[in-house]
Amino acid sequence: MPYTETQPSLYFQCTGSGTAIIFISPPAMGHLTFRYQQLLKDHFKVITFDNRGDCRSSNKDETLQFSDFVNDVKRILDANDISQAIICGYSNGGLLAQEFALQYPNHTLALILIGGYHSPANSTLRLEYKIGISIAKWQWISLLAKALSFNHFRDKKAAKDMELEIKKTNPHSLTQQYQLGLHYQATDRLHHIHCPLLLIYGANDFYVHSYRHGFQEKIGDTEVAYIHHSKHQVPTKYYNECNAIIYEWSKRKKWIK
């Protein structure tokens, strides 16, 4: 199994060839969040990984900064000798993707945000983060694992696979992931992102739709796609549509043949 050589040791998977696209998951969920995005390997070099402390990746019980998780994305790219990639983040993973684009513009070919927002400002998002913090602090990882896997996968085996992975997550680092995400703010810095941006939303994921206006106002090359009938769980429950949108957008940008 591939891990980064530097510490903390991060688990990753790299398949396919061509333009690199790295997928960043929400807290605890890990690489299996994008098990169906592996279908893109015929057109891209697909990279998935576990954030530090999540699933198979290691982490010490130490105080973490948002930059630690962002720098880990660069470490994964370096481990695969990739100088530039499409950075794709799902939900809270989209915050890491945005910050990566801000901190490492020369290594960011483009940005994809699935269910994306630039700050958890609305009450629904903030409540979700606070619930996550409470669950992590009480170390109810088994409960979280069951809830996340059940909500994301229709296939029972896929759900069980994710549940078992999430149970390995470090509660201390998970608490910090949620806390850092809750206080993240990129709204006033979006104009510093100069790469193309693709926003993918579930058509019924209403509480994040309004964020597209901020992105469109401040990032010139922004495209928005909605997936009919979908709520937030786009990469897992509507993966065919999600993958098709990524493929067609990348083809129009001439990043793939």
The rounded distance, in Å, linking the Cα atoms of 15 and 74 is 17
CA-based nearest residue to 174, from 5, 4, 30: 30
21 phi, psi to nearest 5 deg: -135, 125
Q: Is 252 helix (H, G, I), strand (E, B) or coil?
A: helix
Residue 137 main-chain phi, psi, to 5 deg: -65, -35
Q: What is the three-class DSSP state of 110? A: strand
* Low-confidence residues of the chain: pLDDT under 70: 1
Instruction: Please classify residue 200 by burial: count the beta carbons closer than 10 Å to its beta carbon, then call 0-12 exposed, 13-18 middle and 19+ buried.
Output: buried
CA angle 140, 162, 86 (to 5 degrees): 115
Sheet holding 85-90, edge to edge: 12-16, 45-49, 20-24, 85-90, 108-114, 197-202, 222-227
Q: How far is CA 162 from CA 33, 113, 149, 230, in A?
A: 8, 22, 6, 20
Report d(CA 38, CA 32) in Å as an integer: 10
Q: How far apart are CA 6 and CA 129, in angstroms?
A: 30
Q: All domains of the chain, ordered by start, with CATH? A: 12-120+185-252 (3.40.50.1820)
pLDDT of residue 1: 66
186: amino acid identity, one letter: A
pLDDT number for residue 248? 98
Q: What is the pLDDT of residue 61?
A: 78
Helices (H), 63-140: 66-79, 93-103, 123-137
Q: Which token pair is 77?
A: 């790219």
64-102 residue pLDDT tens: 999 999 999 999 999 999 999 999 999 999 999 999 999
pTM of the complete model beyond 0.85: yes
Q: Do 159 and 152 contact (CB within 8 A), yes or no?
A: yes
**Given this model, what pLDDT does residue 60 score?**
79
Look at residue 20 in the predicted model and tell me its pLDDT.
98
| Integer Cα distance of 35 and 23 in angstroms | 10
125 φ/ψ angles, rounded to the nearest 5 degrees: -65, -45
